[in-house]
Amino acid sequence: MTGKLLAVKGIKFLFGLAIVITSLFPLAWMAVAGFKGKSEVLRSPFQFFPDMWDWTNYRQILADPAFVRTLWVTFAGAVVFTLLSLFINSMAAYAFARLDFFWKPLWWVVALMPMFVPGMAILITSFVVVSKLGMLNTIAVLIIPGLASSGQMFFLRQFYLNTPIAVEEAALIDGASRWQIFTKIFLPQSKAPFVVMGFGSFLAYWNAYVWPLLTVGDNPNLLQMQVYLAGFRSERGDDWGLLMAGGTIAALPTIVLVLIFQRYITTGVRIAGMK
Amino acid sequence: MTSTTQTTAPAGAGIAPAPAGAARLSKRQLRKMHSTPKHLRSNLTAFLMIAPLLILLAIFVIWPLVYAFYLSGYETYYNRPAEFVGLDFYKFVLTDPLFWSALWVGLKYSLLVVPTILVLSLLLASFIKTLSGKMAAILKTTVYVPAVVSVVLTGLVFVFMYQDSGVVNAFVGMFGIEPVAWLNNDSTVLAAISVPGIWLGFGISTLIMLAALLDIPESYYEAASLEGANWFQRTWYITIPMLKNVFLYLLVTGFTLAMQEYLIPLIMTNGGPVNATTTTNLFIFNQFRDTSAFAFTYSITAALILFVVLGLLSLLIFKAIKSDKAVDG
Give the DSSP letter string of B144-189. Answer: HGGGGS-HHHHHHHHHHHTSTTSHHHHHHHTTTPPP--GGG-HHHH
Least confident of B26-40, B120-134, B291-305: B26-40
Residue B105 has pLDDT above 80, yes or no: yes
Nearest CB neighbour to B64, from listed A92, A126, A153: A126
> A65-237, what's its fold?
MetI-like fold (1.10.3720)
**Residue B217, amino acid:** P
Average pLDDT over residues B211-239: 87
DSSP bridge partners of B75: B83
Does this complex have an ipTM over 0.85? yes
The reply to whether A23 touches chain B by the CB within 8 Å rule is: yes
What is B96-289's CATH topology?
MetI-like fold (1.10.3720)
**Residues in B touching A91 (Cβ below 8 Å):** 49-50, 52-53
pLDDT above 70 covers a percentage of chain B that reads 85
Residue B123 touches partner A, C-beta closer than 8 Å? no
pLDDT (average), residues A181-188? 88
Confidence class for position B192, pLDDT limits 50, 70, 90: very high
| Optimal mutation site among A109, A122, A249, interface B, most CBs of chain B within 10 A | A122
H-run or E-run covering B296 = helix B293-328
Chain B touched by A8 (CB under 8 Å): no
pLDDT at B6 over 50: no
Q: Dihedral, CA atoms, B280, B286, B291, B292, nearest 10 degrees?
A: -40
Residues of B with CB below 8 A from A89's CB?
53
Report DSSP state, residue B74: E
Answer for the pair B85, B75: CB distance below 8 angstroms, yes or no. yes
pLDDT, residue A94, reads: 93
Within a 13 Å sphere around the CA of A4, how many CA atoms are in the beta-carbon half?
Answer: 1
Q: Rounded to an integer, what distance in angstroms lies between the CA atom of residue B32 and that of residue B41? A: 12
pLDDT of residue B16: 44
Indicate the residue type of B322.
K
**In the predicted model, is pLDDT for residue B9 greater than 60?**
no
Share of chain A above pLDDT 70, in %: 97
State how far the Cα of B236 lies from the Cα of B232, in Å rounded to an integer.
Answer: 6
Cβ contacts of A130 within 8 Å, gap of 6 or more: A136, A141, A145, A215, B60
What pLDDT does residue B18 have? 45
Q: Is the pLDDT of residue B2 over 90?
A: no
Average pLDDT over residues A137-158: 93
Q: Do A255 and B56 touch (CB under 8 A)?
A: no
pLDDT at B15: 43
pLDDT tens for A209-267 read: 999 999 998 899 999 999 999 999 988 888 999 999 999 999 999 999 999 998 888 87
- The reported pLDDT for the residue numbered B246 is 87
Q: Which residue of B has its CA nearest to A92?
A: B50
Q: Strands (DSSP E) along B20-107, which ranges?
A: 74-75, 83-84
From B322, B314, B324, B189, select the one nearest B254 (Cα to Cα).
B314
Scanning every residue of chain A, which has its alpha carbon at the shortest distance from the alpha carbon of B298? A124
Give the model's pLDDT for residue A74.
96
pLDDT computed for residue A189 by the predictor: 85
Cβ atoms within 10 Å, residue B122: 23
Q: Does the pLDDT at position B190 exceed 90?
A: yes
Chain B hits for A251, CB-CB cut-off 8 Å, are 149-150, 153
pLDDT (tens digit, 9 = 90+) per residue, B34-63? 555 555 567 888 999 999 999 999 999 999
Q: Which residue has the higher pLDDT, B51 or B239?
A: B51
SS3 content of chain B, % helix, strand, coil (to 5): 75, 0, 25
For residue B55, give the H/E element and its range.
helix B43-57
Task: List pLDDT tens digits, range B58-97.
Answer: 999 999 999 999 989 888 777 777 788 888 889 988 999 9
Is the Cβ–Cβ distance between A67 and A134 less than 8 Å?
no
The domain segmentation of chain A, as residue ranges, is 65-237
Selection from A117, A268, A176, A49 nearest residue B67 by Cα: A117
Query: How far is the C-alpha of B22 from the C-alpha of B261, rounded, in Å?
Result: 63
Which of the residue ranges B28-32, B83-87, B254-258 has the most confident prediction, judged by mean pLDDT? Answer: B254-258
Q: What would the mean pLDDT of A5-27 be, rounded to a whole number? A: 91
